[in-house]
Amino acid sequence: MAKLTFKENLCKGCGLCVGACPKNLLRLSTTRLNQKGYAPVELTDPDKCIACKSCATMCPDCVITIEK
């Protein structure tokens, strides 16, 4: 199973990674804000992540790190 780590306070809630995930596993939080005041991205179902790295590649702010 892949392990995704989010540098949550760097996230600006742009949603680019959400659209990039082929498994539709990412969403912007509806309950939390980060230190910058943005809704940070969340992984909904870690077990379904295929570690394709599309999300990490898409993110302009290098928020997402993926380990296999």
The binding site for ligand SF4 (CB under 6 A) comprises 11-17, 20-21, 23, 25-26, 41, 43, 49-55, 58-59, 61, 63-64, 66
Q: Which of 22, 44, 30 is nearest to 13 (CA)?
A: 30
CB of 68 to ligand SF4, least distance (A): 10
CA distance 60 to 57: 8
CA distance 41 to 64: 10
Residue 32 or 63: which CB sits closer to ligand SF4?
63
Residue 33 or 61: which CB sits closer to ligand SF4?
61
CB of 36 to ligand SF4, least distance (A): 10
Q: Which of 23, 58, 16 is nearest to 41 (CA)?
A: 16
